[in-house]
């Protein structure tokens, strides 16, 4: 894969795979119920053009990771409590926030706390 043509071909194949995977997810989970949190991240579109895959993926990750915009568009200002209350009881809530350790047990919501990004970086550098 040292030739630029090989890299372009690999990028195109990757782009097709990403678009196919997204389509499969949208078809499989077409009606996931009502999102009472109205999370702004859920509406960030994955618009990837095959002729400019890298730019489309970067735009998506930038928009999805824009915490300031996400919080400004959030319709529920009591976030973690709403998430815990609305999470399906048959599913385990995956989180990094300490608040769920207090919110989930009283309502019998299964949950698992993962280490934060900072904790992972600190643990791996030390």
pLDDT band at residue 125, thresholds of 50, 70 and 90? Answer: confident
pLDDT at 73 over 90: no
Residue range 14-21: average pLDDT?
82
Backbone angle region of 108, left / alpha / beta, with phi > 0 → left and psi within -120 to 50 → alpha: left
CB 37 within 8 A of CB 86: yes
Exposed / middle / buried, residue 103 (Cβ in 10 Å: 0-12, 13-18, 19+): buried
Model confidence, pTM: 0.45
Long-range contacts of 41-45 (CB under 8 A, 24+ apart): 41/70
| pLDDT tens, position by position, 26-70 | 777 666 556 655 666 667 777 777 778 788 888 888 887 787 887
DSSP 96: -
pLDDT at 14 over 80: yes
**Biggest distance spanned by C-alpha atoms of the chain:** 58
User: Whose CA is closest to 65, among 117, 11, 7?
Assistant: 117
Residue range 8-16: average pLDDT?
81
| pLDDT tens, position by position, 79-105 | 788 888 888 999 999 998 888 999 999
pLDDT at 25 over 90: no
Q: Where are the alpha helices (DSSP H) in 1-126?
A: 4-28, 53-64, 67-73, 79-86, 99-103, 117-125
């Amino acid at each position: 894969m040292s030739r630029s043509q090989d890299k372009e071909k690999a990028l195109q194949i990757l782009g097709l795979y990403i678009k196919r995977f997204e389509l499969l997810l949208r078809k499989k989970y077409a009606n996931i119920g009502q999102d009472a949190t109205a999370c702004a991240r859920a509406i960030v579109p994955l618009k990837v053009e095959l002729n400019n895959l890298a730019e489309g993926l970067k735009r998506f990750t930038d928009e999805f990771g824009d915490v300031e915009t996400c919080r400004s568009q959030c319709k529920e200002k009591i976030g973690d409590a709403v998430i815990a209350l609305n999470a399906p009881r048959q599913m385990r809530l995956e989180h990094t926030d300490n608040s769920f350790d207090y919110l989930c047990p009283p309502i019998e919501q299964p949950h698992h706390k993962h280490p934060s990004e900072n904790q992972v970086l600190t643990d791996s550098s030390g």
